[in-house]
Amino acid sequence: MLTATDLAVEFASRGRRARAVDGVNLSVGAGEIVALVGESGCGKTTLARTLLGLERPTSGTVSYDGSPLSYRGKALQAYRRQVQLVLQDPMGSLNPRQTVYEAVAEGPRIHGLPDEEKVVAEALSRAGLRPPERFFLRYPHELSGGQRQRVVIAGALALDPKVLIADEPVASLDASVRGEILALLLRLRDDLGLSALVVTHDLGLAWNIADRVAVMYLGRIVESGPTEEILKNPQHPYTQALLSVLPESEERIVLTGEPPDPTRIPTGCRFHPRCQIVAAGNPIADKCRTDLLPVLPTTEGSQAACHLVTQRQTR
Amino acid sequence: MSLLELDDLSVTYRIASGEVPAVRGVSLSLEAGEALGVVGESGSGKSTLAMALLRLLPKDARTSGRIMLGGEDILQMKWGRLRAVRWAEASIVFQGAQHGLNPVQRIGDQVAEPLLVHKIATPEKARSRVASLLAQVGLPAWRARSYPHELSGGQRQRVMIAMALACEPQLIIADEPTTALDLMVQAQVLTLIKELIASHGISLLMISHDLSVLADTCDRLAVMYAGRVVETGPAGGSFQHPYSQALAAAFPTVGDPASRLAPRGLGGDPPDPQRLPSGCVFHPRCPVALDTCSTVDVELRPAGDRRTAACVLVLEESC
Amino acid sequence: MSITWTRRRLAFGRFWASFRTQRAGVIGLAILLLAVLLAVIAPLFIDAGVTNVVSGTGEKLSPPSWDDPLGTDESGRSVLLMIWWGSRTSLLIGFLAALLSMVIGTVLGIAAGHFRGWIGAIVMRITDWFLVLPSLVTALVLAAILGGSTVTIIAAIGVTSWPSTARLIRAQTLAVEARPYIERSQALGGGHWHITTRHVLPNVAPLLLASTTLEVASAIVTESTLAFLGVSANKTSWGTMLRGSYDWGAATSGAWWYILVPGLCIVIVVMAFTLCGRALENVLNPRLRKAV
């Protein structure tokens, strides 16, 4: 449905080139929920923005339904009806001077859809704000955090999209409200066949709603596959470490050092300076330090970008 | 005797449209060397509680009840005594390490500040003390000459912890110490806090919206909802109050089939403190509310295994 | 549509309720409304004839009396009637020049803030260039070249006073554009026109209103200054009256009313606009509101 092929996005950062996204293959199938997991600065938000066409890739392509995304006005606008965005901060995503009605009607107005009031009412009730008329004249500051995020989701639904890209959709919401919003995403998938790419740092969230997980580190996807396989039996040392710091895990692997700098991507395996297995004196550590890893292809099954995993498989 | 004992602590903010009860009759105690976690959502009053402990609230807040720290009531203290208590006996680690540090002052000077203010050390002694404090939080001594912007978020939070440790307090109050930090850095900071309180025998009162952070670091947990403690009990035990249970379910266990493709949360939103529901304030959102819950408010009551919970259902089970 | 109108009525009600608490602002507004009303209804009672040099009926430079409550000028014209008629020119030039400056400033300010690439850079360089030009001298030269008419005076004032508005609007635009709802709107398919008119403009409008009100005051002062320096629309305005009083040595001949009355009128109206503008700023600027 939505596919990224060899996608790379670079920025100029303090005189150096930052490779925020550095070769990513990723696809979101029809009716599929994919979680893109990573720490801040790993490029997951840039990847999401590029998939939405808000950022132009330096190389590689984004394609929707098999045809590559065009960045010319008309085609891009048509694409925007298919792929919609939900941001982290629902207060900031709503114009404080617009009512709920205007916020949800914005998309239909831009695209000149007929029956505006009906579309808005339907989108609001789909997003769980019922009866919708009660919310029309409210302002964002009169709503609770959960309601605001529902308004943002309704605003996306009003265009009847096929794919939703949600950047940390519940990170700024209260814990007790979170579940309801996630349940809403699942329900939208079941009722409308909506696909979703959920960008998050929260593995619990991925476990809660995602069919597939892609773990991103420093601009690349290092491991991807079905949620159950990746989260229960992670192969890549980075995924293992991420899972190990969750409270219920027995043995913690706390990686030393800070999230790395996309202007200085290490040689060899990009994870090797922080890798716990390299630090523990792994026999092929030299390979990890010098040999580049290939970019993971788009597949349904599990895969990991790690010399150790490759070695284990070939043996 | 407990190190810290809160007795019927209430905090009310006076604003233009009336009074806002932020904390409503909280009684808690913290033993020496114990780590207590206070968890709650936004508006539950947890941060107000933390600020009230050292009388750091704005002027429009009215505090009542008692806060006994080492046998002395903080609310009755004279200004001079209170200043001595702050940092020297109880210190606070704020959330958002970006703003807690002065951007134009070197790290070393900021860490040394409480030592010099409380005349604990001479400037020369302070310098060596700063080096040892930085070493304790895992930062090299040369970092003392850095400015805050040269440090990463995790390193800044380490500096904040070093500042809190400077005067060797008996109690550290940590208000969302790891919020806005990355998963891995958060784990690093939590591990550090755990090691430090264990090795120094310091008591910890840690406040967070994230139950998983507290469950990992603290011995005991208190759950707050709408300005009240609705449950206390050992960390790691199973919750009895339906709100705590819902909160726990919001942080799913990866690998637990029950939560797979089944996110759980509560309907509705936390109540407006100016318009609290009648009876048990949780009843409009409670999945197991009885008819009586809308009229009867329940105090904390024993719920087995050093646990107390404020719920009608708890009584029926233990009887 | 009824939904929008209900909402606007509610919003205006809230705005008025908080404006009313600003006592200085209410006084300013009352003075302004009175001044504008008097200027508008003037033709019902008098005409341009009161400013005609040959139609002066009273004594030359006579002090206030029952016949001429505010005295007369060098041609025996009633100062009161001239002030009344002159207010039309002064206010008209003030309002239109401020409007012109606001339109130029807003368009360029939003453009500079929205198009951040080379377009924004060029617009900002032009703005800076105008900002460092001594605006009074420029206006003087412009008006002198273009010739004296109401339109040229308005143009001269408007064209020289917009850079500060543009600066203000650009800063506000940058702040608004950093908000996530701009990104959301982009993702919904909104183009430059949509984003600037639907999101940026409504969010800078309150600030704009307040700054324009202050701008009117300064335009009135500039008009008077220009007139005093000899560049006028050849119509009686408060500025030309001051010029006249100076030319005829009103100060040395003790005709205090001839200087004081137009001077006070300028001070009062400018003050009223300033009070109103400050009150609007207090009510509409969320940052100031929080600080209060």
pLDDT tens digits along C56-97: 666 777 777 777 777 777 777 788 888 888 888 888 888 899
SS (H, E, C) chain C: CHHHHHHHHHHHHHHHHHHHCCHHHHHHHHHHHHHHHHHHHHHHHCCHHHHCHHHCCCCCCCCCCCCCCCCECCCCCEHHHHHHHHHHHHHHHHHHHHHHHHHHHHHHHHHHHHCCCHHHHHHHHHHHHHHHCCHHHHHHHHHHHHCCCHHHHHHHHHHHHHHHHHHHHHHHHHHHHCCHHHHHHHHCCCCHHHHHHHHHHHHHHHHHHHHHHHHHHHHHHHHHHHHHCCCCCCCCCHHHHHHHHHHCCCCCCCCHHHHHHHHHHHHHHHHHHHHHHHHHHHHHCHHHHHHC
How long, in residues, is chain B?
Answer: 319
**Which among A89, A92, A110 has CB closest to C190?**
A110
Within a domain: C138:
yes
Task: Tell me which chain A residues have a C-beta less than 8 angstroms from the C-beta of C181.
Answer: 92-95
Within a domain: C50:
no
- What's the pLDDT at C3? 65
Structural domain of B254: 4-89+169-318
pLDDT bucket at C290, cuts 50 / 70 / 90: very low
Across the range C21-33, mean pLDDT stands at 89
Task: Tell me which chain B residues have a C-beta less than 8 angstroms from the C-beta of A242.
Answer: 183-184
- What's the pLDDT at C170? 92
**Which among A52, A95, A101 has CB closest to C187?**
A52
Across the range A134-143, mean pLDDT stands at 86
Structural domains of chain B, count = 1
Structural domains of chain A, count = 1
Query: Mind listing the pLDDT tens digit of every residue in chain B (319 residues)?
Result: 688 999 999 999 988 778 889 999 999 999 888 999 999 888 888 888 988 988 888 888 899 999 998 888 988 888 888 888 887 788 888 776 556 788 888 988 888 888 887 777 788 888 888 999 898 888 888 888 888 888 888 888 888 888 888 888 889 998 888 877 777 888 888 888 888 888 888 999 999 988 888 888 899 999 999 999 999 999 888 888 999 988 888 888 888 888 888 888 887 778 888 888 888 889 888 888 888 888 888 888 888 878 899 988 886 554 4
Within a domain: B150:
no
What CATH number does residue B53 fall under?
A: 3.40.50.300
Task: Tell me which chain A residues have a C-beta less than 8 angstroms from the C-beta of B270.
Answer: 144, 174, 176
Within a domain: B200:
yes
Within a domain: B119:
no
How far does C7 lie from chain A, in Å, by closest CA?
7
pLDDT tens digits along A170-219: 888 888 888 889 999 999 999 999 999 999 988 889 999 999 999 999 99
Q: Does the pLDDT at position C4 exceed 70?
A: no
Structural domain of A35: 2-231
- What's the pLDDT at B98? 57
Within a domain: A152:
yes
Answer whether B touches C (≥3 Cβ pairs < 8 Å): no
Within a domain: C11:
no
What CATH number does residue A72 fall under?
A: 3.40.50.300
**Which among A145, A146, A258 has CB closest to B152?**
A258
- What's the pLDDT at B319? 44
Model ipTM? 0.82
pLDDT bucket at A273, cuts 50 / 70 / 90: confident
Contact A95 C183 (CB under 8 A): no
- What's the pLDDT at C287? 52
Structural domains of chain C, count = 1
Within a domain: C16:
no
What is the average pLDDT value for chain A, to the nearest integer?
88
pLDDT bucket at A130, cuts 50 / 70 / 90: confident
What CATH number does residue C265 fall under?
A: 1.10.3720.10
Q: Does the pLDDT at position C286 exceed 60?
A: no
- What's the pLDDT at B17? 76
Across the range A290-294, mean pLDDT stands at 85
Within a domain: C6:
no
Within a domain: B51:
yes
Within a domain: B126:
no
Q: Name the residue among C141, C268, C162 with its Cα closest to residue C219.
A: C162
- What's the pLDDT at B297? 86
Q: Does the pLDDT at position C288 exceed 60?
A: no
Within a domain: B266:
yes
Within a domain: A212:
yes
Question: Quick one: DSSP state of residue A260?
Answer: P
Within a domain: C186:
yes
Structural domain of C196: 21-41+59-291
Within a domain: B9:
yes
Q: Name the residue among C236, C215, C16, C204 with its Cα closest to residue C102.
A: C215
Q: What is the pTM of this model?
A: 0.82
